[in-house]
A and B are shown apart, each in its own frame.
Chain A
Amino acid sequence: EAGVVQSPRYKIIEKKQPVAFWCNPISGHNTLYWYLQNLGQGPELLIRYENEEAVDDSQLPKDRFSAERLKGVDSTLKIQPAELGDSAVYLCASSLESGTGGSSYNEQFFGPGTRLTVL
């Protein structure tokens, strides 16, 4: 079974440029997460989707970051414009949540991440 797919794996851009990351979750997984991970830190949640609905985007810097999961399958995370401090690894994860309102927690499977460098 294919795991979570992310592309690109690496991206180098100059500041103020736009950038987009793509994630395809494990087939059948209804919940999708985008995380940001800085060196030496744990993953920090940016946004969580239940199907096509963003149920937690409280940590997403909405002035420059946006995300979509239009058909409840794959997802895109965009930064426009990128800043030097956005250099990090962007991880996508998916899980199959059961129960109303996501009341249960099931294992998250992570993709390999996209390593972004902003110059």
Chain B
Amino acid sequence: RKEVEQDPGPFNVPEGATVAFNCTYSNSASQSFFWYRQDCRKEPKLLMSVYSSGNEDGRFTAQLNRASQYISLLIRDSKLSDSATYLCVVTRGGYQKVTFGTGTKLQVIP
């Protein structure tokens, strides 16, 4: 079993729709969680951190469920510019071992 798993998609959604992605992690010792965004043929960039209490940044909401070992990303009012691959990142250990998920591809269609 992979340490971090994501549904690769693609998720094809119309503009204005709400879409949610989940990411599961296998190691209960995981400490920090993040969502990165990667545009086609570009480098990943940090979208947002995921806090235990949940956090929101505009149209984006991230949540953590430690009991079930997953994090989620909710995007409201999808824009064409949201089309990208969303990578889940989990860290653990003294040197914060970093593991990326395989990514979930989102395509927002007009």
Interface residues of A (CB under 8 A from B): 33, 35, 40-45, 48, 50, 55-56, 91, 97, 101-105, 107-108, 110-113
Which residues, 21 to 48 on B, are CB-close (under 8 Å) to A? 31-32, 34, 42-46
Selected from A33, A48, A103, the residue in CB contact (under 8 A) with B94 is A103
Quick check: is B100 within 8 A (CB to CB) of the other chain? yes
Give, as a whole number of angstroms, the nearest-CB distance from A6 to chain B: 9
B residues in contact with A103, CB < 8 Å: 94, 96
Q: Is the CB of B87 within 8 A of A42?
A: yes
Selected from A45, A50, A112, the residue in CB contact (under 8 A) with B98 is A45
Given contacts A41-B102, A112-B42, 20 further A-B contacts (CB under 8 A): A40-B8, A40-B102, A42-B87, A42-B100, A42-B103, A43-B44, A43-B87, A44-B100, A45-B98, A50-B95, A56-B97, A91-B43, A97-B96, A103-B96, A105-B31, A105-B96, A105-B98, A108-B98, A110-B43, A112-B43
Q: A91-B43, A107-B46, A112-B43 are in contact. Are A42 and B101 (CB under 8 A)?
A: yes
Bound: A97/B44 CA distance, A: 19
Count chain B residues whose beta carbon lies closer than 8 angstroms to a beta carbon of A. Answer: 23
30 examples of A-B residue contacts, CB within 8 angstroms:
A35-B100, A40-B8, A40-B102, A40-B103, A41-B102, A41-B103, A42-B4, A42-B87, A42-B100, A42-B103, A43-B100, A45-B97, A56-B95, A56-B97, A91-B43, A97-B96, A101-B94, A101-B95, A102-B94, A102-B95, A103-B94, A103-B96, A105-B31, A105-B32, A105-B34, A107-B46, A108-B44, A110-B44, A112-B42, A112-B43
User: Chain A: which residue is nearest B96 at the CB level?
Assistant: A105
B residues in contact with A97, CB < 8 Å: 96
Which residues, 45 to 82 on B, are CB-close (under 8 Å) to A? 45-46
User: Chain B: which residue is nearest A102 at the CB level?
Assistant: B95
B residues in contact with A48, CB < 8 Å: 95, 98
B residues in contact with A41, CB < 8 Å: 102-103
User: Chain B: which residue is nearest A113 at the CB level?
Assistant: B43
Give, as a whole number of angstroms, the nearest-CB distance from B46 to chain A: 5
Give, as a whole number of angstroms, the nearest-CB distance from A17 to chain B: 25
Flag B76-110 by CB within 8 Å of A: 1 or 0 each. Answer: 00000000000100010011111111110000000
